[in-house]
Structure 1
């Protein structure tokens, strides 16, 4: 695993507690993994990344058949498998209190409930965003962004005795 610290033009990337890999897994820096481990472990497993300098991959093992296919907007492959879901409707009774889950379809995204996102906010973690895909609220928040930040450089302080 190589962590890219610059874009293609050589500009440094901002610091993220969740370096991006894909919407089907989460990559977490060590501090984020330690802080979220208790809340996430019931829904999956943490796997250390070789050469990742302390990065861990979270693989969700909670798979819920929660998509209401009859009411969702789905684009399918010719064989009937799901290619893309453009409008979601979930069976809330299937999801229950599961904070993190996947659907039982090829290359499923990770889905999170608000409690997980609130925990990230409470811990002041950064460098991750979430888009709302389904809600039963009348006017929900559609997007939550915790922007990356630049790592503060530690200033060395030298002390001497007199």
Structure 2
């Protein structure tokens, strides 16, 4: 079993809220749409058009083509919500499926000073629960996770702008020192 989390693909455009305070509303219920704009250039370099432009961890943004190709795949796992943009009709996906699939005893955490979980340094999942698209109740707005079958289906659609980073492989041993290879020392 393999589990992935979405990540921004280098060189592709992002969307950013017109109001930076809107990031606080990404997981608000009920949904209160906020307007975004495309970030099409970075430090003088033109960014490539993205089918899945990056906004933030814990959500996906879909252009119409992406919504048509994978909206039906995502819908059983969450909400497809309107995301106003002057340039194009966008949809925001956020999962509503919280699954207590994290093996806390085997995972490694970066704690806050009060002992709460700031981040997960080494994910270890319960293979019987980590399926489809889900978030963790321990950090419900931090990230969304995809099993390998779902990643394969999204990848097969040929969509650009968002990639998937492997965070767990049941066949791999725990990371030495609790830090996976993609984490800085």
Q: TM-score, normalised by structure 2?
A: 0.68
Higher relative contact order (CA 8 A, sep 6+): 2
Runs of 4+ in 1 over 3 A off after TM superposition: none
Compute the RMSD of aligned alpha carbons. Answer: 1.9
Match of 2:133 among 100, 121, 125: 100
Query: What's the CA shift for 1:138?
Result: 5.0
* Structure 1 gaps, min length 5: 143-162
* Structure 2 gaps, min length 5: 1-35, 174-179, 181-185
Contact in 1 for aligned 2:127/2:170 (Cα 8 Å): no
Structure with the higher fraction of residues in strand conformation: 2
**Equivalent residues in 2 for 1:51-62 (5 A)?**
51=85, 53-62=88-97
Aligned counterparts of 2:129 and 2:155: Cα–Cα separation in 1 = 26
Query: What's the CA shift for 1:105?
Result: 2.8
Residue 50 of structure 1 pairs with residue 84 of structure 2? yes
Q: TM-score, normalised by structure 1?
A: 0.78
Contact in 1 for aligned 2:112/2:118 (Cα 8 Å): yes
Match of 2:165 among 115, 131, 134: 131
Aligned counterparts of 2:128 and 2:142: Cα–Cα separation in 1 = 20
**Which residue is 1:145 aligned to?**
none
Aligned counterparts of 1:49 and 1:13: Cα–Cα separation in 2 = 21
**Equivalent residues in 2 for 1:6-155 (5 A)?**
6-9=41-44, 11-51=45-85, 53-95=88-130, 98-106=131-139, 107-137=141-171
The structure having more radius of gyration, on CA atoms, is: 1
